[in-house]
Structure 1
Amino acid sequence: MPLRKVILLLNETAAGKAALDTALDTARLWQSHLTVLHVRVDARDVAPLAGEGLSGAMIEDMMVATEKESAVRAHDVRVLFEQAVNTHGVTIGEPRSGVATANFVSVAGREEEIIAQQARLADLTVIPHPEAGQDVSSSDALHAVLFDSGRPVLLAPATPPASIGRRICVGWNGTAESSSAVQAGIPWMKKAETVRILTSEDYQRRGPGAADLAAYLALHDIRVEVATFRAIDKNVGAGLIAATREFGADLLTMGAYSHSRLRQLILGGVTRHILENSDLPVLMSR
């Protein structure tokens, strides 16, 4: 199924700019409609955080300051959107068949709640890469889409990719999560120039192997090659990233959190390593 609706969660950071470029390239590739969503802080959420000992007037001042700051940020993000749309040759307006279009929406609320809800009626949601020094495992927006939307997510790289979806790697380990990612990736694979399945004894779980996946994709008229990679210093995620670089991939599709998120947070894991270290777009599902 082709991608018809893409959502991008946009903030004013440098990573947000890279994600915007990635999302616009995706919209052009699929001639789809891109909704750029900016979530402002709801001033009403400030009051419970103010704590005791503050007068009503002080809390009201804090709410007014929050609204002003949010309005300035929303304006800056909209300017960023309009500039990027012009650069990428995407039309601002309502969805139109055969044309890449985009619109900008700014709403107040809790970011993780709004993006998860909106993602449920989108073919793909693009999330910016975490800023340097941030822990991607604490990204509420990313995990809200993964765990609460039922839809795939594309983690944009920290810098805009030169291309997306021409050379695709599939990280396969036989799990239900990787199966879901394959389904999300099939439309991309049909467009790709070449596809490689990456498999490893250190990564494989109980379930179908890479050869089984290759046979399944052949039924969809997708011809693939299979390559084995090895963990680097016992780190499967590092080995997987090295394999994508060796292949010159511009998209990695893989399942997210075959182990629990808590276990990966405490002990580390393939998903966490990929999210924190990958320098190419990652299409994830679970």
Structure 2
Amino acid sequence: MAYRRLLLPLTGTAAGEAALATALIAARVWSAHVHCLHVRVDARDVAPLAGEGLSGAMIEEMMAATERESGERADRVKTLFDKFTSGLGGVTLADNPDTAAKTGGPTLSFESIAGREEDIVAQQSRLYDLAVVPHPEAGEDVSSSDALHAILFDSGRPVLIAPRVAPIDIGTRVCVAWNGTAESAAAVAAALPWLHKASAVQILCSEEYQRRGPKAEGLQAYLRWHSIPAEVVVFKPQTREVGAGLLGAARDFGADLLTMGAYSHSRLRQLILGGVTRHVLENAEIPVLMCR
């Protein structure tokens, strides 16, 4: 079992370089290919949003401004990619599996296309083993991360959220957040390659986190069938925050990867009231593998 093809949506944010570095670390582990995808805003999508009362000239001006800004953003993203790859050793730029197979190591490619980012990213990621996304910007509402949520809700594929600062390694010590839900089960299935490689695995659970479904001991038995030994640890919420307790337990374990289900409660509820998924997205300092 291995990850062979990773998708990295690049938006030009400050977190993009850390996401590139995180994706490359994962690619080195699996000798995988990373395809960096930048989706430019299509100026034609602006016209329907212009509303009534605007003249044709005003709409054309808006479209021209959008096209200009989109092009400048695409140039910045490509510059980021070129700068990052220029000093890399042992990494080949390749855009097809035949070339990649000959290298015996990680490969990278870049593509920039126009369209609606959330649609294209969700659709494209369905043919990748894993999508790596930049960490939501500090001070930016997590709900605005269109690529992240598009993949989570509309791709059927796992997502690896990169931390703000690229890690040294990924997957040597793995924590599994378990609450008995279908989402957490999907995350475990997606993380099995990492769990097989890990030197230590810990299952994190708590009464406040548990939903209707199998307990952590059931997951422990399941992993034994896969020859994966795992310790069950009960964590406590910190200042009434289950997410803070979860991240604290992962930190105590020295984890360099956390895997968990996303949005067991509705996304709307979590945006309004807060929730474990949102807290982890905003505060995790290690890579987090999520499934919905």
Which residue of the partner structure matches residue 56 of structure 2? 56
Which is worse superposed, 26-35 or 48-57? Answer: 48-57
Kept after mapping to 2: 8 A contact 1:85/1:91: no
Asked whether 1:161 is paired with 2:167, we answer: yes
Asked whether 1:181 is paired with 2:184, we answer: no
Q: Deviations over 1:178-233 (max 9, x none)?
A: 00000001101111121111111111122211121111111111111121110112
What CA distance in whole angstroms lies between the structure 1 residues aligned with 2:81 and 2:143?
A: 27
What CA distance in whole angstroms lies between the structure 2 residues aligned with 1:232 and 1:278?
A: 15
Kept after mapping to 2: 8 A contact 1:24/1:88: no
What CA distance in whole angstroms lies between the structure 1 residues aligned with 2:280 and 2:88?
A: 28
Instruction: Give how far 1:84 is off.
Output: 1.6
SS in 2 for 1:198: strand
Count of aligned residue pairs for this structure pair: 286
What CA distance in whole angstroms lies between the structure 2 residues aligned with 1:8 and 1:218?
A: 32
Regions of 4+ moved over 6 Å: none
What CA distance in whole angstroms lies between the structure 1 residues aligned with 2:93 and 2:199?
A: 30
Q: Deviations over 1:20-57 (max 9, x none)?
A: 11111111111111110001010111222333333322
What CA distance in whole angstroms lies between the structure 1 residues aligned with 2:271 and 2:144?
A: 9
Which residue of the partner structure matches residue 222 of structure 2? 216
Kept after mapping to 2: 8 A contact 1:25/1:88: no
Which is worse superposed, 257-266 or 146-155? Answer: 257-266
CA RMSD, 1 decimal: 1.4
Which residue type is aligned with residue 254 of structure 1?
M
SS in 2 for 1:161: coil
Which residue of the partner structure matches residue 20 of structure 1? 20
Which residue type is aligned with residue 75 of structure 1?
D
Which residue type is aligned with residue 92 of structure 1?
L
Which residue of the partner structure matches residue 93 of structure 1? 94
Which residue type is aligned with residue 29 of structure 1?
V
Q: Identity over aligned residues, as a percent? A: 65
What CA distance in whole angstroms lies between the structure 2 residues aligned with 1:79 and 1:266?
A: 38
Which residue type is aligned with residue 60 of structure 1?
E
Asked whether 1:4 is paired with 2:4, we answer: yes
Task: Classify 1:60/1:259 alpha carbon distance in 2 versus 1 (closer, same or farther; 3 Å).
Answer: same
What CA distance in whole angstroms lies between the structure 2 residues aligned with 1:200 and 1:223?
A: 20
Which is worse superposed, 4-13 or 206-215? Answer: 206-215
Q: Deviations over 1:107-126 (max 9, x none)?
A: 11111001100111110011
Which residue type is aligned with residue 259 of structure 2?
T
SS in 2 for 1:246: helix
Task: Classify 1:104/1:200 alpha carbon distance in 2 versus 1 (closer, same or farther; 3 Å).
Answer: same
Which is worse superposed, 60-69 or 245-254? Answer: 60-69
SS in 1 for 2:149: helix
Q: What is the aligned counterpart of 2:280 among 274, 277, 280?
A: 274
Which residue type is aligned with residue 92 of structure 2?
T
Kept after mapping to 2: 8 A contact 1:167/1:194: yes
Which residue of the partner structure matches residue 39 of structure 2? 39
Instruction: Give how far 1:254 is off.
Output: 0.3
Structure 1, unaligned runs of 5 or more:
none
What CA distance in whole angstroms lies between the structure 1 residues aligned with 2:110 and 2:250?
A: 33
Which is worse superposed, 80-89 or 271-280? Answer: 80-89
Q: What is the TM-score normalised by the length of structure 1?
A: 0.96
Which residue of the partner structure matches residue 77 of structure 2? 77
SS in 2 for 1:14: coil
What CA distance in whole angstroms lies between the structure 2 residues aligned with 1:124 and 1:68?
A: 32
Which residue type is aligned with residue 124 of structure 1?
L
Structure 2, unaligned runs of 5 or more:
none
Q: What is the aligned counterpart of 1:239 among 232, 236, 245?
A: 245
Which residue type is aligned with residue 132 of structure 1?
A
Kept after mapping to 2: 8 A contact 1:255/1:284: yes
Which residue type is aligned with residue 220 of structure 2?
A
What CA distance in whole angstroms lies between the structure 1 residues aligned with 2:172 and 2:3?
A: 16
Which residue of the partner structure matches residue 125 of structure 2? 119
Q: Deviations over 1:75-125 (max 9, x none)?
A: 221121122223343211133223211110101111100110011111001
What CA distance in whole angstroms lies between the structure 2 residues aligned with 1:142 and 1:109?
A: 16
